[in-house]
């Protein structure tokens, strides 16, 4: 919250009296503004005001635990979506026949994989703080259950002829017993139900201090208030302000009507609660309150909970996604610019791809290709990609389906295997085609063709007389000599087969 004040009215006042009035109003407004700002900075979570007993404290802690655990929801939710995007872009890259677009798709796939790894690492690190906070909250809720049970403790004189009397010293001894029949301080079961007695809300990002039941004050939960002796007569003084002896005085107790009874009243929350600061203010939520510094060996449970809650609440809600991806943002991703520099021949000479000045052409290309807006990006690299066909296999039958229909890593792996099989078949075909048209094979074919004599034809290396003509032997034409140098001496187009020929 910010205060903006102006003295324009003071300057424009028509008279000294008006000027003084404006000054007074200006001062009052300024004080109110700063007071309001200070209050906002120091104001605790308003929902915490509803914590007035064991049961509402339990409800607040329950909802606080839920809120803390949800601080990782966005990070966790981003991972499945990124996995889906990475899978689709990889499949699209493998089926892409345009080399430059294949580079663009491959870069996106690897960026998504990088984001997945980063989000997992962030979640694992944050989970340590979250788990610690949840454990402390659970411990406190266990203490609250114990405190709630204690609140039902009742002390009473045992009934029956179990007592003893001392006739010489007049010191009768009464035997006591404890039960849990006293009215509970609050209905914990009801408060934990779907229809709680008191509705509790939690705003964890405004929580700066927390009130907890103090483990060292659990005796105050027991609701014994007084011991009442009922005599028949002769009590010395029935007035107030007496000590123990004066109160009993010379009271006479009749054997049939004398009694002693412990009186119980509901204890107030203030007797057994303790407040612990988590942050100094709402404007200083990047550091725990100074009271949570130092050695922790002698800390009471309440401080351990506050410290754990502080560290969990300080976690930033940060995660990486491609939900707003566009050319400009993608040109700033290291893996994108380096991948395209290494993949695209037009930019292989770029020495420093991360420098937008030195590699301006590369960065401009990335911005243009991925689109100026996220809508441009989404249409080209998500919506259109989802409709691209890829092969799947069911038994001995191969079918074409949309990339969007490949929804698991296993299905993607099997589809990639089919694509790879088609690539291998194409490379073999290209090799055979090359071998049959190589200069050496052409010379052999020419020599064979010139020979008309069957005997001489069959005697020539690489020739055979067939169908009335001297031709190159089939074995020589296939190029199956195992010469790897020959197989590497030409450029192989490794782009996958056009999808229509995948079904054969």
pLDDT digits (tens, 9 = 90+) for 248-266: 777 887 767 778 888 888 8
Mean pLDDT, residues 378-388 taken together: 93
Quickly state the pLDDT bin for 246 (edges 50, 70, 90): confident
Domain coordinates in residue numbering, the chain:
1-42, 84-130+321-389, 132-313, 390-502
**Nearest by Cα to 110 from 333, 329, 359:** 333
Closest by CA to 150, choosing from 61, 213, 57, is: 213
Question: DSSP secondary structure string, 358-387?
Answer: TTHHHHHHHHHHH-SSHHHHHIIIIIHHHT
Separation in Å, CA 34 to CA 2, 4, 283, 284: 8, 10, 14, 17
194 touches 219 (CB < 8 A)? no
For 159, what's the count of Cα atoms within 13 Å in the CB-facing half-sphere? 0
Q: What is the pLDDT of residues 447-459, one digit of tens each?
A: 888 888 888 888 8
CA distance 121 to 373: 29
The residue ranking higher by pLDDT, 20 or 460, is: 460
| C-alpha–C-alpha distance, residues 191 and 187, integer Å | 6
pLDDT tens for 31-61 read 554 444 444 455 899 999 999 999 999 999 9
The confidence score (pLDDT) of residue 209 equals 96
Average pLDDT value for residue range 141-164: 90
User: Cβ neighbours of residue 287 under 8 Å, at least 6 residues apart?
Assistant: 279, 280, 314
Q: In a 3-state reduction of DSSP, which class is residue 304? A: helix
Q: What is the mean pLDDT of residues 88-99?
A: 92
How many angstroms separate the CA atoms of 204 and 200, rounded? Answer: 13
The structure's pTM equals 0.68
Q: Could you tell me the end-to-end alpha-carbon distance of the chain, in angstroms, rounded to an integer? A: 70
Give the residue, 254 or 224, on which the prediction is more confident: 224
Helix (H) or strand (E) holding 84: helix 73-95
- Provide mean pLDDT across the span 1-19: 52
β-pairing, 463-466 vs 469-472, is: antiparallel
Placement of tokens 């890593």 in the chain: 409
232/111: higher pLDDT: 111
Beta bridge partners of 228: 261
pLDDT at 492: 36
Q: Is 276 helix (H, G, I), strand (E, B) or coil?
A: strand
What pLDDT, on the 0 to 100 scale, is given for residue 242? 78
Range 69-83 average pLDDT: 91
Q: Give the separation between CA 406 and CA 94, rounded to whole angstroms.
A: 14
Q: What is the pLDDT of residues 407-465, one digit of tens each?
A: 999 999 998 998 888 888 888 887 776 655 555 566 677 788 888 888 888 888 888 98
């Amino acid at each position: 919250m910010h205060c903006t004040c102006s003295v324009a009215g003071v300057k424009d006042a028509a008279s000294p009296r008006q000027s003084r009035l404006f000054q007074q109003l200006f001062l009052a407004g300024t004080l109110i503004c700063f007071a309001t700002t200070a209050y906002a900075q120091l104001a605790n979570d308003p929902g915490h005001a509803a914590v007035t007993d064991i049961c509402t404290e339990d409800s607040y802690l329950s909802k606080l635990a839920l809120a803390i655990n949800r601080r990782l929801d966005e990070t966790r939710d981003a991972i499945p979506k990124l996995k889906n995007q990475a899978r689709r872009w990889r499949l699209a890259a493998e089926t892409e026949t345009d080399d430059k677009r294949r580079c663009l798709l491959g870069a996106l796939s690897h960026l998504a994989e990088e984001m997945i790894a980063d989000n997992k690492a962030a979640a694992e690190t944050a989970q340590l703080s979250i788990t610690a906070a949840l454990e402390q909250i659970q411990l406190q809720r266990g203490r609250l259950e114990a405190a709630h049970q204690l609140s039902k403790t009742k002390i009473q004189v045992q009934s029956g002829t179990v007592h003893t009397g001392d006739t010489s010293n007049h010191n009768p001894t009464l035997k006591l017993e404890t039960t849990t029949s006293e009215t509970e301080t609050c209905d914990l079961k009801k408060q934990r139900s779907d229809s709680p007695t008191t509705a509790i809300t939690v705003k964890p990002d405004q929580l700066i201090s927390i009130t907890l039941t103090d483990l060292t004050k659990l005796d105050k939960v027991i609701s014994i208030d007084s011991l009442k002796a009922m005599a028949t007569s002769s009590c010395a003084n029935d007035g107030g302000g007496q000590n123990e002896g004066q109160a009993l005085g010379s009271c006479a107790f009749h054997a049939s009507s004398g009694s002693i009874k412990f009186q119980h009243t509901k204890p107030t929350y203030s007797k057994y609660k303790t407040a612990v600061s988590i942050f100094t203010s709402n404007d200083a939520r990047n550091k725990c309150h100074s009271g949570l510094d130092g050695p922790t060996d002698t800390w009471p449970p309440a401080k351990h909970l506050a410290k754990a809650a502080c560290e969990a609440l300080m976690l930033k809600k940060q995660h990486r996604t491609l939900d707003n991806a566009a050319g400009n943002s993608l040109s700033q991703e290291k893996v994108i610019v380096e991948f395209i520099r290494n993949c695209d021949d037009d930019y292989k000479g770029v020495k420093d791809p991360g420098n937008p000045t030195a590699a301006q052409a590369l960065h401009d290309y990335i911005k243009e290709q991925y689109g100026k807006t996220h809508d441009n990006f989404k249409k080209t690299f998500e919506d259109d990609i989802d409709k691209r066909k890829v092969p799947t296999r069911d038994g001995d039958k191969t079918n074409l389906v949309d990339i969007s229909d490949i929804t698991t890593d296993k299905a993607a792996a099997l589809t990639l295997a089919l694509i790879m099989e088609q690539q291998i078949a194409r490379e073999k075909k290209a090799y055979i085609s090359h071998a049959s048209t190589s200069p050496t094979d052409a010379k052999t074919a020419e020599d064979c063709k010139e020979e008309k004599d069957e005997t001489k034809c069959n005697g020539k290396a690489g020739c055979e007389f067939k169908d009335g003509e001297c031709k190159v032997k089939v074995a020589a034409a296939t190029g199956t000599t195992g010469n790897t140098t020959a197989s590497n001496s030409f450029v192989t187009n490794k782009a996958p087969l056009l999808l229509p020929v995948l079904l054969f």
